[in-house]
Structure 1
């Protein structure tokens, strides 16, 4: 419960910080009229929308399983991340549109020093907060929070490029460079959006847990199945912070239901120690169902 409440608090804080950074970047664009800074501010609007979607998804994912969704609401965060990815791509398209206009009708930005300082300050805030989101998102296994952090890191990279490029605009007087920078920012955002959607679709498609966790699961089963014959058809999937594990456990045909149940209880207890938020299903079978594959215990 403590981790859950912390995740919700992080999502709410992310929205507040997103609004602050958006205000700073809009101010920087208003002072300079730079197309590149406009694109940067537009990306911050996406950050705010991302934070809102993440907050809703995290809150929804906390709901307990019910008759309608007996496996829980954990996948809500994956839907959130897909929405974020689509929003990122829409923002990139809008930025490319503005970059084209800026390239065809270039203008030198105004108030260079003030705009650069304000944008740099906003970027420092984003950098610090992005690190917090990525770290906490992975710790809580929250796809929505981690996606928010990854997008903020993309925003940081984009803004640094914009700031360096604008400095060159002022030094060289090449006004069209401003629009070129905006286009590069848009391409970077497109790549980020694709990455967020790709990872989220994997979760929606019930992708297996990473190889290192799979190995841990197999080792735990092998080391705690004394009395059984083998374990086969081991399957895993990830849904938000939940890890679903199911497999078939073959036991001697003469073994009592009570003894077989005790073996299952022991395996489940050890799996929950090794894998956080594990949901485990074990199908017990008699020895004539053995496949002589998977994890051979005896």
Structure 2
């Protein structure tokens, strides 16, 4: 994705597009359910309602996340995106329970399907819309490091696979005449989206608890620091320790200590620290680095028992 495209496809604009697509798919899938009376297509339509609710909530959250830091939120509002992902996970689980409830009743009292051809055509059309939007959102989520976009894209992909399963199930019902297969497919769909809802909830909880940055990002940080750490006559001149990281939405944070000779002037030490901070933020987009300067013979004791009380 080019920088110009990334600027055009912002998280807020894509979440607005998700709201529009959700409204379109609700109309298509509801019509498919009405003409066929298939509980499988009903489950598909119910998940699209979840798509709409989560897209609206996601739009609100990415708007809040984009706000600049203020006196009450000096680190910014980036964690708002985790609420969007968690809310979407809750809605997915609720939809799965509703689908199982509806399918269980139809399993006990199977009903013949009507106008299968029209119903399948409408379902496929809605899946194409969701699939295209999910593809764009996945690319934008990687570019903007947005968990809200990623969560919505994953939900859309789940919706696509849901529709695929429903289409296959209804086709088999039409060919075989096994009416019980329709609710069985609906229950299988519910179990699939239940798993996706759990994953979204778990990831959101980890983000809200200041999870460390990804392994590849941490490796980049270490490689960048290695370019500044050096020795002379088997003695370390500059070294780094007590490195901790966390992530909050689009932002990444790293805190560390930089040790250097006590004979260095404050100006020289500050200049080196500035170079390290700039190198880190250039290597990892969206990173904010905080570096504490310490003489080489001074150690911080963060792991002492008195600090853990």
Q: TM-score range by the shorter chain?
A: over 0.9
Match of 1:296 in 2: none
Aligned structure 1 segments of 4 or more residues deviating by more than 2 angstroms? 1-5, 224-229
1:219-239 Cα shifts (integer Å, max 9, x gaps): 111213569521001111111
Q: CA RMSD in A?
A: 1.6
Partner SS, residue 68 of structure 2: coil
Tell me if structure 1 keeps the 8 A contact 2:230–2:239: no
Match of 2:292 in 1: 283
Q: 2:7 and 2:97 mapped to 1: Cα distance?
A: 35
Match of 1:123 in 2: 127
- Return the match for 1:273 from 263, 266, 282: 282
How far is 1:128 from its partner?
Answer: 1.2
Q: 1:168 and 1:13 mapped to 2: Cα distance?
A: 34
Pair 1:82 & 2:91 matched: no
Match of 1:248 in 2: 257
Match of 1:66 in 2: 70
Partner SS, residue 245 of structure 2: strand
Pair 1:233 & 2:266 matched: no
Taking structure 1 as the reference length, the TM-score comes to: 0.94
| Structure 1 gaps, min length 5 | 292-298
Partner SS, residue 175 of structure 1: coil
How far is 1:4 from its partner?
Answer: 6.7
Q: 2:91 and 2:207 mapped to 1: Cα distance?
A: 19
1:201-242 Cα shifts (integer Å, max 9, x gaps): 121111111111111101111213569521001111111111
Q: 1:140 and 1:266 mapped to 2: Cα distance?
A: 25
Q: 1:55 and 1:42 mapped to 2: Cα distance?
A: 20
How many residue pairs end up in the alignment?
291
Taking structure 2 as the reference length, the TM-score comes to: 0.91
Partner SS, residue 87 of structure 2: helix
1:81-128 Cα shifts (integer Å, max 9, x gaps): 001000000000000000111101110111110001111111111111
Match of 1:23 in 2: 27
- Which stretch has the larger CA shift, 221-230 or 23-32? 221-230
Partner SS, residue 229 of structure 1: strand
Q: 1:279 and 1:190 mapped to 2: Cα distance?
A: 36
Partner SS, residue 289 of structure 1: coil
